[in-house]
Structure 1
Amino acid sequence: MQTIALDKLVEQTKEEVIAWRRHFHQHPELSFHEEKTAQYVYETLQSFGNLELSRPTKTSVMARLIGSQPGKVLAIRADMDALPIEEENTFEFASENPGVMHACGHDGHTAMLLGTAKILTSLKDEIKGEVRFLFQHAEELFPGGAEEMVQAGVMDGVDMVIGAHLWAPMKLGKVGVAYGPMMAAPDTFYITVEGKGGHAALPHDTIDSIAVAAQVVTNLQHIVSRNTDPLDNLVLSVTQFVAGTTHNVIPGSVEICGTVRSFDAELRKSVPALMERVVKGITEAHGAQYKFKYEFGYRPVINNDELTKAIEETVLEVFGEETLELMKPNMGGEDFSAYQQKAPGTYFYVGAGNKEKDIVYPHHHARFTIDENALEIGVNTFVHATFKLLD
């Protein structure tokens, strides 16, 4: 397909894609509860024609576009779930569901893939092979929707898979690609420090769970700074510390929770034992007890070089050199990695931030939003990349 012809089709769908994004933003649904979102997506896809539709899980949708000529199978994925956040934006399409908000851009991802599907269905006779559109539920909540969809067979026969994330820290007009490691494996830990509660004026009659737990938090940081190679990528963050009820009572226990992020499989496996050694040593030294639980989350997103090169070439051909940004890995997590276990895949970023419009708030913030002009860039990249990869 000629670039000019595809660009025109993308431009013609721009307002519709924006309208879809606003609909999803106004009606967000939490992970594993995307019933109305999935139904809306299904009915919209149905209106396009030329698609074989199915519901791999209760709240997901798959659409298959079989081209007129034989060829490979390309899957394109978008996530659909929202977050448990009370929205503070005041625009007219702000969330109507109390305590639920699209604060990560998934509304835009879903709209972009609908736009891509609409354009490609109109070009069925030009397509070699198959395009499989995966509208996924529950990216935000482990064990995640991607693994469920893979188990349901959405990747059977797929030769390659691509996906994109609208990225507010990146300014509008940029598309970011990364070779190799792209996003980390996000694991979660839970620690309970059990001491002996009592009167705050009589600390000698207690085992101060807060004092012990504070040392646990401090010493866990030594795992990154002193127990692992400085050249390895590892993050260990304590994000919850819950204890106590009032000013004059030393509590009997403290609950600690946090996350570990890594890329290397061997390093990842070693972390739980290193953590528990720290927790065990400190609690025993002070006569306290502990409970330790470690949950392995999504696998790291590792991009395939060949597919990444194809996305890079697409960006250069469609938008020019000023649009392309070669990115470093980041320590965020994504269950897109589940698809990469079944076929080579690459995941890229579409810049959606704009300081001039005050679109500066980070993902998962109550005032997060995107510059909607990014949607057209995302659709354009998907559409052109489809023909490059299938040809």
Structure 2
Amino acid sequence: MKENLFQKLREKKNRIIEIRRYLHAHPELSFHEENTAKYIADFYTGKDCDIRKNVGGNGIVVTIDSGKPGKTVAIRADFDALPIMEETGLSFASKTPGVMHACGHDGHTAYMLILGETLIEMKDQLQGKVVILHQHAEETPPGGAIQMIKDGCLDGVDHVIGIHVMSTMETGKIYYREGNIQTGRAYFKVKINGKGGHGSSPHMANDAIVVGSYFVQAVQTIISRRLNPFDVASITIGSFDGKGSFNVIKDAVVLEGDVRVMTEDSRELVEREIRRLLNGLQEMFGITYELDYLNDYPVLYNDPELTEFVVNSLKNSSISGVTGIERCEPQPPSEDFAYYAKERPSVFFYVGAMPADGKAYPHHHPKFNINEDSLLIAAEAMGAVVIDYLREDDTQNGNNSVQRLK
């Protein structure tokens, strides 16, 4: 059955690329993906599947029901873009100024549409159900995943599987890791209120810039002196708004920061210590502060048993173009797929998509691009896992080495 699927997908490779290029040229920002959502829904219209629109916002849920008893697996692809001015020079570059598919979500959607179409064509050979989660707004909190979950996208689902193409990973290789695989994230905004005054009379003022500068330095001691050295976290102050006249002491400054952690315990520690530091500055300098602190995307956890199943499936499948399947290091960015993983045992793995010329720009870069050969690899990889997951017994397809999930 897998070889049949692979053959169909290989015959449709050019369509995958055409769809990717169309989507790349027509990007839409998180929570504003109306045209992309319509494109996805229209693609499935008339096909033998159930289509649910406007799930949690612009999300689309497609259910492929074999009509036979079995498990239900959800597979996810996101479709939002970023507020970035594209600088790739591609013939199919973004036609929307200041908006770009700079993370590969156009590729995710393209391979998933063709995989979905092909699974629909083969549904009589399947058991159970496949639920395709075409998710909006991965890039911007609160994120589309949690909205779709609240709207019932995981009802009846046993496990969730996702793929991300990676421009910085070698094309032809698939990468995985069990356990905590991507960071959790928090955002904070703090306004430090001092007392304004003239630069000639600092003793009559209370300089908020001085306090803010102290905070920028001191907050890093949370990582160096409060966090266990064997844990991983980072704190970045990305904005310090203290602009004003050169000879005027500001009465207030606003700072914004980003927190990344690899455990939920570290998340709690960092927030607690930031609040304690601000309380100390309040006493030390006689200022007041206003803090907005938002914990959003959780740490992404790959279920070890399901990860082992996925890896065995991939290793026992003749996926075109795959030269290796490797365990990788945890990835620093955050990913709202983590919300699915909190609800159901899940796996998120990576397909290398480094351009053939080796000029790999990181995700969210104005010159970001992917090797389009990675899209067929992604389609075959996800398809192989789905078929192995849904097969009726361990011996179907003559593949005894893939262990059935308990």
Alignment TM-score, normalising by the size of structure 2? 0.91
Check conservation: 2:176, 2:350, Cα contact below 8 A: yes
* CA pair 293-152 structure 1, distance change in 2 beyond 3 A: same
Corresponding residue of 2:397: none
**What is the CA distance between 1:316 and its match in structure 2?**
1.9
Give the deviation of 1:231 after TM superposition: 0.9
1:52 matched to which residue of 2?
A: 50
User: What 5-or-longer segments of structure 1 have no aligned partner?
Assistant: none
Rounded to whole Å, the distance in 2 between the matches of 1:22 and 1:284 is: 57
How far apart are residue 203 of structure 1 and its match? 3.0
CA drift of 1:289 comes to 2.0
Task: Describe how 1:79-158 pairs up with structure 2 within 5 A.
Answer: 79-158=78-157
Deviations 1:275-311 (A, max 9, x none): 1111221243123222222111112110111221122
Provide the alpha-carbon RMSD of the alignment. Answer: 1.7
One-letter amino acid matched to 1:370: I
Report the count of equivalent residues. Answer: 388
Conserved in 2, the CA contact under 8 Å of 1:35 and 1:58? no
Change beyond 3 A, Cα 1:327–1:357? closer
Q: Residue in 2 aligned with 1:297?
A: 296
- Sequence identity, in percent? 37
- Matched ranges for 1:357-376 at <5 A: 358=359, 360-376=360-376
Cα deviation, residue 93, structure 1: 1.2
Q: Distance in 2 between matches of 1:262 and 1:175?
A: 25
What is the CA distance between 1:357 and its match in structure 2? 5.2
Please say if 1:275 is aligned against 2:274: yes
Deviates more, 1:276-285 or 1:15-24: 276-285
Give the corresponding residue for 1:383. Answer: 383
2:25 is aligned to 26
Kept after mapping to 1: 8 A contact 2:79/2:137? yes
Matches of 1:110 and 1:202, distance apart in 2: 61
Counterpart residue identity of residue 74, structure 2 = A
- After superposition, the C-alpha distances for 1:149-178 in whole angstroms (9 at most, x for unaligned) are 111111011011100111112121111111
Distance 1:321 1:104, change over 3 A: closer
Deviation at 1:355, TM superposition (A): 6.2
What aligned pairs does 1:183-194 form with structure 2 within 5 A after superposition?
183-194=182-193
Report if the CA contact (8 A) 1:315-1:323 is conserved: no
Offset, 1:182 = 1.0
Alpha-carbon spacing, 1:231–1:27, altered in 2? closer, same or farther (3 Å): same
Q: What is the alpha-carbon distance in structure 1 between the residues aligned to residue 85 and residue 75 of structure 2?
A: 30
The code of the aligned residue for 2:116 comes to A
Note the C-alpha offset of 1:68: 4.4
Judge conservation of contact 1:80–1:109 (CA < 8 Å) in 2: yes
Provide Cα deviations, 1:330-362, integer angstroms capped at 9, x if missing partner.
23211112222332110011111136153x111
Contact 1:310 1:388 in 2 (8 A): no
Identify the residue that residue 351 of structure 1 maps to in structure 2: 352
Q: Go from structure 1 to structure 2 and tell me whether the alpha carbon gap of 1:372 and 1:355 turns closer, same or farther (over 3 Å shift).
A: closer
Paired with 1:201 and 1:12, the residues of 2 have a C-alpha distance of 76
> Which one-letter code corresponds to 2:210 in the other structure?
A
Q: Secondary structure at the match of 1:32?
A: coil
> Which segment is superposed worse, 65-74 or 132-141?
65-74
User: Helix, strand or coil: the match of 1:293?
Assistant: strand
CA deviation vs aligned residue, 1:310-340 (integer Å, no higher than 9, x gap): 2212332234984212012223211112222
Counterpart residue type for residue 275 of structure 1: I
Secondary structure of residue in 2 paired with 1:169: coil
User: Is 1:262 matched with 2:261?
Assistant: yes
- CA displacement 1:115-171 (0-9 Å, x = unmatched): 210111111111111001110111111111111111111101101110011111212
Which deviates further from its counterpart, 323-332 or 129-138? 323-332
Give the drift of 1:365: 1.2
